[in-house]
Amino acid sequence: MTVDEIKALLQELNFPSRRITEQTAVCILALANTTPREELIAGHTCLADGARIHDILNFVRRDIGRPVAENTRESYRKASLRPLMEAGWVIRHQLSTNDPNTYYRLHPDFARLLMLPLGPERDELIARLRLSERGLPRRKPDLKRDVPVVLAPGQVHTLSPGRHNLLQKAVVETLGPALLQHPQVVYLGDTAPRIGYQNRSLMRRLNLPIGVSVALPDVILYGPEEQALLVVEAVVSSGSVTPGRLAQLQALVAGPETLGVQAIYISAFPSRRVFKRFVEDIAWGSSVWIEDEPYNVIHFVALSHDNG
């Protein structure tokens, strides 16, 4: 897509007109670029894998051929990337406020939109991603309806109504694609006494116990490329990853870890307001994701002490 086409798309998505600038369009083009290149973060082969602001500036210089000073970093971050994150179309990966390896990626749905031709599929995705007239993400959950969760293209599992299952839906459809290239749903619980979803063949392949005495987490996702499991507790009124719960979950995934699969333990919250009620209980060595702010993950990192 060209800069003008990106601008037209942003207008179609109700992005605030004052934010529809050439700089913002260029940021999107950079984050969608799949050309192999060097000098990126270790493990990243192209900008679409995740790009720092420095990498985006280099894209502007080398690929677009426009001079841009390094001291424009703040303008790119505040005037372009932050509004895109607030819309939910760009995700930031950051360990700390001043993390030098902070990088940005397009949300998978937005990246897919850039590739779709005109047609019903594109129209449906536009409707899902379009902002409200106030320039805010649309969010009007119906708490009385069943919750359809897209497990994979063409595969939907229906959960019972309620806030907890709506949060689990967001974990599968938003958090999973943000952290894993091709997430596979291993397990998805349900708050009502109906059968949740289990991919038993995948559980066996991952050496995960199917019949367990310890309660399963709310969601388990697997990323084959990353060889990682996202072990997620959805927290609306209780059930965050506390130190005691972390020990239980670590025992649960001991089998996959013998196969070289890394487990990432996450407490998912609908809002920062709910998170604040549980912040003192969160276990070191786990992470936090907030649905209202889907472009960021908080890592509770325990530093090791070397006493010589």
Which residues make Cβ contacts (< 8 Å) with residue 291, sequence separation at least 6? 167, 170, 174, 268, 269, 270, 271
Which of the residue ranges 7-11, 12-16, 120-124, 134-138 would you say has the lowest mean pLDDT? Answer: 134-138
Determine the pLDDT at residue 186: 95
Q: How far apart are CA 200 and CA 219, in angstroms?
A: 14
- Are 301 and 95 in contact by the 8 Å Cβ rule? The answer is yes
Which residue, 233, 230, 200, is CA-closest to 214? 233
Is the pLDDT assigned to residue 101 strictly greater than 70?
Answer: yes
- Dihedral, CA atoms, 240, 245, 250, 252, nearest 10 degrees? -100
Is the pLDDT assigned to residue 211 strictly greater than 70?
Answer: no
136: pLDDT confidence band, cut at 50, 70 and 90? Answer: low
Domains of the chain, start order: 3-129 (1.10.10.1820), 147-299 (3.40.1350.80)
Is the pLDDT assigned to residue 280 strictly greater than 80?
Answer: yes
pTM: 0.58
pLDDT digits 0-9 by tens, 238-257: 899 999 999 999 999 999 99
Which residue, 268, 264, 272, 265, is CA-closest to 289? 268
- Are 13 and 28 in contact by the 8 Å Cβ rule? The answer is no
For residues 57-79, give the mean pLDDT: 91
Q: Please give the structure tokens belonging to residue 296.
A: 């960021």
The mean predicted confidence, pLDDT, of the chain is 88
